[in-house]
């Protein structure tokens, strides 16, 4: 649970409400004593429907992508959620070598543990556009994948907010130039670190960087 002073809560109320809605309760204090708490309205999330995912991907042409699946804690804190990176969701929502395995894995996770961010949604749209431009999928398949993601985000995922604080953290992480990461990749790590999440990705370099930042 995040703890903030009453003055901080007044200054950043919108961000704190988004954080609470994503599943991280916020305790508000006055003169060091707990005063109130912001929590999400209980809305049961739906278990992932693997058959529905396969209905999206089964008709797509097989695509050449495919890599090893990694998960990495971005910071040594109790696990609050599994943060699903763009590369993992591309494997789930298009027809790659690891698609069936990752759909099965995702369907086996408790939905209350699953999270994405608005930055993941941006990356997913971009990655699908690249697949379309390179002839791997058609416009209808891209639309199906985006619609599938929208349903998952509504029914089964927590969508964690991206804040100015995360962008400031990106600058700090990006200073570690030996990691060889782009700013957009580092943003995922900053979000994971802030929420005590485990990063789930197919990006080997990003997973190694997450481990090194624990």
Which CATH number do you get for residue 24? 3.40.1620.10
Q: What is this structure's pTM?
A: 0.74
Task: Please indicate, yes or no, whether residues 96 and 30 belong to a single structural domain of this protein.
Answer: no
Sheet holding 158-160, edge to edge: 70-73, 198-201, 82-84, 114-117, 158-160
Residue 89 pLDDT: 95
Between 16 and 142, where is the model more confident?
142
Classify residue 43: in a domain, yes or no: no
* pLDDT (tens digit per residue) in 54-64: 999 998 998 87
Neighbours of 10 (CB within 10 A): 11
Classify residue 44: in a domain, yes or no: no
Residue 212 pLDDT: 56
Residues of the chain with pLDDT > 90, as a percent, come to 41
Residue 78 pLDDT: 40
Say whether 83 sits in a helix, a strand or coil: strand
Task: Please indicate, yes or no, whether residues 12 and 75 belong to a single structural domain of this protein.
Answer: no
Exposure of 161 in the CB half-sphere (CA atoms within 13 A)? 16
Domain that holds residue 191: 50-212
Task: Please indicate, yes or no, whether residues 88 and 8 belong to a single structural domain of this protein.
Answer: no
* pLDDT (tens digit per residue) in 36-88: 988 877 677 899 999 999 999 998 998 876 545 555 544 444 445 899 999 99
Classify residue 183: in a domain, yes or no: yes
Between 2 and 175, where is the model more confident?
2
Task: Please indicate, yes or no, whether residues 18 and 88 belong to a single structural domain of this protein.
Answer: no
Between 111 and 23, where is the model more confident?
111
Average pLDDT, the chain: 84
Task: Please indicate, yes or no, whether residues 20 and 55 belong to a single structural domain of this protein.
Answer: no
Residue 213 has pLDDT above 90, yes or no: no
- Give me the number of domains the chain comprises: 2
Residue 4 pLDDT: 87
Residue 144 has pLDDT above 60, yes or no: yes
């Amino acid at each position: 649970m995040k703890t903030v002073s009453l003055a901080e809560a007044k200054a950043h109320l919108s961000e704190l409400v988004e954080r609470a809605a994503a599943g991280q309760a916020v305790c508000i204090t006055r003169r060091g004593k707990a005063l109130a708490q912001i929590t999400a309205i209980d809305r049961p999330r739906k278990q992932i429907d693997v058959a529905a995912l396969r209905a999206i991907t089964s008709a797509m042409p097989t695509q050449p992508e495919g890599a090893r699946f990694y998960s990495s804690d971005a910071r040594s804190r109790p696990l609050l959620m599994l943060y699903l990176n763009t590369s993992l969701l591309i494997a789930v929502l298009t027809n790659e070598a690891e698609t069936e395995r990752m759909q099965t894995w995702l369907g086996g996770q408790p939905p209350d543990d699953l999270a994405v961010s608005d930055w993941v949604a941006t990356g997913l749209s971009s990655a699908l556009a690249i697949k379309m431009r390179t002839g791997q999928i058609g416009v209808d398949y891209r639309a199906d994948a985006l619609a599938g993601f929208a349903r998952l985000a509504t029914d089964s995922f927590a969508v964690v907010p991206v804040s100015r604080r995360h962008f400031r953290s990106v600058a700090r992480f990006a200073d570690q130039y030996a990691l060889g990461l782009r700013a957009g990749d580092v943003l995922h790590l900053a979000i994971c670190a802030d929420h005590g999440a485990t990063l789930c990705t197919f990006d080997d370099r990003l997973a190694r960087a997450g481990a090194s930042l624990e």
